[in-house]
Amino acid sequence: MDRGRGGEGHDLSGQPRSRALELDARDGLSDARSRFAIADDRLVYLDGNSLGRLPLATVGRVRKVVEEQWGVDLISSFEREWVALPVRAGELIAGSMLGAAAGQTVVADSTTNCLYRLSSAALHARPGRRVIVTDTENFPTDRYVLEGVAAAAGGEIRWIESDPVEGPSLDQLAAALADDVALVSLSHVGYKSAAIVDARSATDMTHRAGALMLLDCCHSVGSVPIALDEWGVDMAVGCTYKYLCGGPGSPAFLYVRSALHDELDPPVWGWWARAEMFEMGPLFVRAKGMPGFLGGTPSMLGLAAAEEGARLVAGYGIEAVRQKGIALTQYAIELFDELLEPLGFALGSPRDPARRGAHVAFCHADGKRLVFELAAAGVVCDFRMPDVIRAGMSPLTTRFVDVYDGVAALASLAERR
């Protein structure tokens, strides 16, 4: 297979490739790429929002966990290192990119699992209210978990039919809120469109209606600054394997506003959530604070990798990462206007950079086939139903020239049809 050709060498009308190279030369974050394992420098990887690249530091860190902590120190590594990891990794993410004071965040289980525990706890914390509000464009696992939690409580989902490009609006949220709503759960950045929800206003409205807010930050953590404390968000979750580059299946973070620690009672009463877990007492007594929101033994390999990836992003600073994300997506949209729109593509993301995360959606009726053909041409992005070609721009590893080559390849494939 001829990899990484993209649009290399072809200057397309009005948009010289040299401009992308100039943008890369001026990029203050351009050295970050050298801190990742890049097997094929010509591969145009626009899928870091599904699986972030491998940081070099993670290779050494995971080797250490395997060879020294597991291989040599065996079970003593639990006390020496591993028991502290969920809280330590949580605090790193909380302080550097969630806008969350200490004592409210842990990293331990998948986003799906964390969503279940928190949404279920929220419903039980609002007795008499049986409705969960979410939107039709929310990520599948979020929709399904919330459906299941509502069904188990004899409740229901009140769906916001959100705009596929702009995401759920505050007016739609206002119309869905009533005194039967226990919980509102929204994604901070939409997984398809990258639309950003005004989480502060949405949380205010939710609170005025007497409900709780659960914010999914999978597509914002590590790409868009988050201010959970300031916005008054009650609960949040977010992946570490996307923009935090924690590796496949690395565990998610879970945040609970401290005022709610004693009020929420997640349904999984695991031993890691018990006060004095190593006393192994006869009955469950929830630990105070965030340890009380843990479940069972987390994957320490995944946790260590998640911590390493988060450390790398935190080192560059979320504001710098955000600025690069805006510049990359702005450039992608410029190229879209010039090269893709004339070929019948539609933009599936908000044009206002303040309302857009770090990926861009290009819509095309032949999207699925085009994504397949792009892969054969060395350009990796992904397809999302019904017609979305999703180009993810990881600020630490994606170059402007990747954006150029990716869009140019897409244009020439579409032109050929």
Ligand X SMILES: *Cc1c(COP(=O)(O)O)cnc(C)c1O
Q: Which residues are catalytic?
A: 139, 216, 241-242, 390
Q: Does 187 bind ligand X (CB under 6 A)?
A: yes
From the list 19, 27, 103, 112, which residue makes contact with ligand X (rule: CB under 6 A)? Answer: 112
Residue 257, SS3 per DSSP: coil
Closer to ligand X by Cβ: residue 115 or 408: 115
Q: Return the range that interacts with ligand X (CB under 6 A); candidates 116-124, 194-202, 213-221, 341-349.
A: 213-221
Segment near ligand X (CB under 6 A), from 19-27, 28-36, 108-116, 290-298?
Answer: 108-116
**The binder of ligand X chosen from 139, 272, 293, 345 (CB under 6 A):** 139
Output the six-digit token pair for 188: 């901070």
Say if strands 382-384 and 388-392 run parallel, antiparallel, or are unpaired: antiparallel
DSSP state of 222: T
Closer to ligand X at the Cβ: 216 or 387? Answer: 216
As given in the structure block, the two tokens for residue 177 are: 């809120």
Q: Minimum Å distance from CB 407 to ligand X?
A: 23
Which residues, other chains included, contact 211 with Cβ-Cβ below 8 Å and sequence gap of 6+?
126, 129, 133, 177, 181, 182, 183, 184
With CB under 6 A as the rule, give the number of residues binding ligand X.
Answer: 13
| Contact region with ligand X (CB under 6 A), list: 104-112, 169-177, 296-304, 382-390 | 104-112
Rounded to a whole number of angstroms, the minimum distance from the CB of residue 237 to ligand X is 8
d(CA 202, CA 231): 9
SS3 324: helix
Tell me if 141 contacts ligand X by CB under 6 A. yes
Query: Is 299 a residue that touches ligand X (CB under 6 A)?
Result: no
Helices and strands (H and E) in the chain: how many? 13, 13
Measured from the CB of residue 141, what is the shortest distance to ligand X in angstroms? 5
Peptide bond between residue 386 and the one before it cis (omega within 30 degrees of 0): yes
CA gap 313, 305 in Å, rounded: 13
Site residues for ligand X per CB under 6 A: 110-112, 139, 141-142, 187, 191, 216, 218-219, 239, 252
